[in-house]
A and B are shown apart, each in its own frame.
Chain A
Amino acid sequence: MLRLEQLSKNFGGLPALSQVSFEVFPGQVTALIGPNGAGKSTLINCMTGVLQPSSGRVLFRGAAISSLAAHQIARCGIARTFQNLKLFPRLSVLDNVLTGLTCEAGSSMVMAMLRLPYLRHRERRLRLRALEALDRFGLGDKADWPAAVLAYGDKKRVELARATVGNPQLILLDEPVAGLNAAETAAVGEQLHLLRRAGHTLLLIEHDMDLVMKLADQVVVLDSGQKIASGTPAEVRRNPRVLEAYLGCMEATA
């Protein structure tokens, strides 16, 4: 579904990614792990048009998307969340989720100004869908709150609701449970399970190994911008290079 070919990214001569290649298969959860600074977020940013890769290609359903602008990539059906939340603090929670349906809301300014009946009906449908998405994440009763006042865990879940509400073909999640407590982590994990069961394709960046091991069909390990391993969770866990680069260093700090 999504293929990375020899993707590299340099920041002022310093390589953040070098020659990374792997594939995300439809209906699967692919986990991307690696120590801090390994280049995971950079990889997602290159895939979504936030950053331009220095070389290499990204193919989505066989078509190269690496030269497209971020909004065009989004319109292809790729949604994402951000590691450092990017909610719109002044909008209500519901409106934040509704921005996840921008592609379906229509883009003609003139039509919007005239508020034609067909747009009103569409708006009502979208609103119901956004409310459903909020309910799924247990936030239905906070729909009309300004997003700014939510607790951190709630904000994270609003971002998840926003990324998933439009039924995107591919969802890129940058550390969806970082900073959440155990109960919240379990709840989000449950939602991710449901998404997978519903046939969604996920690319999941996560430091929480329990979650990765439970959810992932395939794990890709990055270290210092290079892919050092990939395979099933069990294979990766046994891989000595991974243990050395990643799990080892975690155990050392634990």
Chain B
Amino acid sequence: MTDRQKFLYFIALHRTGLWVTALSLLLLVFPLVENNPYTLGLTNLIAIHAIVVLGLNLFIGYAGQISLGHAAFFGLGAYGSAIACVTFGLDSWLAMLLVAGLVALVALLVGIPALRLTGHYLAMATLGLNFVFHTILLQWDQMTGGPSGFYGIPSLSLGSFAFDDELRLHYLLWGLALLSLLLCLNLVRSGVGRGLSALAGDEIAAAALGVDTRRAKVKVFVLSAVLASVAGSLFAHTYGFISPDSFGIFVSTDLVIMVVIGGMGSIWGSLFGAALITLLPEWMDLFETYKDFVHGGILVLVLMFLPQGLITGLLDLLRVQLARLRQKNVTA
């Protein structure tokens, strides 16, 4: 092999690792270039959304189902952490873990019966779950603070080091987002991930290859709920205040839109989708006013023209074109 070939081979082999490293470095120096707390506040919110969207994207893209209730898992994480820390005085990291465990259990209980049925029963079930959850938040005000929200949630801290300003939060939140990214990338590149891709492609073929399709769906659902819960806990500790508005069904649909923008089953696309939908209202006032219309419009357009989602759809087109070109070169 020539040096150039060796170099290209190395790049191909470690492509994913190189991208992750590059992104990490970029995020490491980002606050040096841009230290405006407002901007960092926005990018921090992207990190939190990205964690939810990564999990949801695995679920929508690989299990081929739709969840319209992930804001409920997000909210369970947030309120769970808030109540555990403030009302019961638990350590915040411990609370985050306990709440995530609890959410896993809830997802299991919702997912097992709902995923047994075919069609979009899970969409309905999760929508219902979100609705019930939102109502409970509003009604049970001794526990949740009701419509006026829950105040005074402490910042996360390591010993005496508190993550209480945008800069410190930047490193914490993006660190955890990158960790989630890495875990998800590992998953989709493994044998288990191939089983999930098979499941997404054709359930009968996947089962004939030995994939326990029902179990795989439930597992991915639970995983996505756990990621949403962790993101919710982070959200609560980041802002110190949470209210039911942040966990309604429209938040759930926004999360789905982030997935659709990023593309079904695309891990990197998830980051992009989370970033775009988080930033759009900042860029356009008009967008803020007609948010629901614009979101709905994006959803319809993408699904009509690129059913695999925006980024994945475009990449697929590109890959097919490239392969066709090569095919021509081979035969010519």
Contact = CB atoms under 8 A, between A and B. Distances in A.
A is bound by B: yes
Contacts of A115: 186, 189-190
B1 interface: no
A86 to B, nearest CB: 4
A112 B187 contact: yes
B90 interface: no
Nearest to A103: B210
A9 interface: no
Given A71-B212, A109-B223, A50 B204 contact: yes
Contacts of A99: 194-195, 197-198, 206, 209
A102 B186 contact: no
Contacts of A49: 207
A252 interface: no
B201 interface: yes
A95 B194 contact: yes
Interface string A88-127: 1111000100111111111111001111000100110010
A149 B187 contact: no
A112 B193 contact: yes
Interface of B: 183-184, 186-187, 189-195, 197-198, 201-202, 204-213, 219, 223, 308, 316, 319-320, 323-324, 326-327
A55 to B, nearest CB: 23
A103 B198 CA distance: 13
Nearest to A122: B191
A87 B308 CA distance: 17
Interface in A68-93: 69-71, 74-75, 79-80, 82, 86-91
Of A89, A90, A104, A126, most B-chain CB atoms within 10 Å? A90
A194 interface: no
A109 B197 contact: no
A148 interface: yes
A106 B197 CA distance: 15
B326 to A, nearest CB: 8
A86 B211 CA distance: 15
A234 B126 CA distance: 61
B191 A71 contact: no
A122 B194 CA distance: 14
Contacts of B198: 88, 91, 99, 102
A69 B203 CA distance: 13
Contact of A88 (B205, B223, B324): B205
B208 A112 contact: no
A112 B186 contact: yes
28 contacts: A49-B207, A50-B204, A70-B208, A74-B208, A79-B208, A86-B208, A89-B201, A90-B308, A91-B198, A91-B201, A98-B194, A99-B195, A99-B206, A99-B209, A101-B191, A105-B195, A106-B192, A107-B192, A107-B195, A112-B187, A115-B186, A119-B190, A123-B191, A145-B323, A145-B326, A146-B316, A146-B319, A149-B323
Given A71-B211, A123-B191, A145-B327, 20 more contacts: A74-B207, A74-B210, A82-B205, A86-B205, A90-B308, A91-B198, A98-B194, A99-B198, A103-B210, A105-B195, A107-B195, A109-B187, A109-B223, A112-B186, A112-B190, A112-B192, A113-B187, A145-B326, A149-B320, A162-B209
B202 A71 contact: no
Contacts of B191: 98, 101-102, 104-107, 112, 119, 122-123, 126
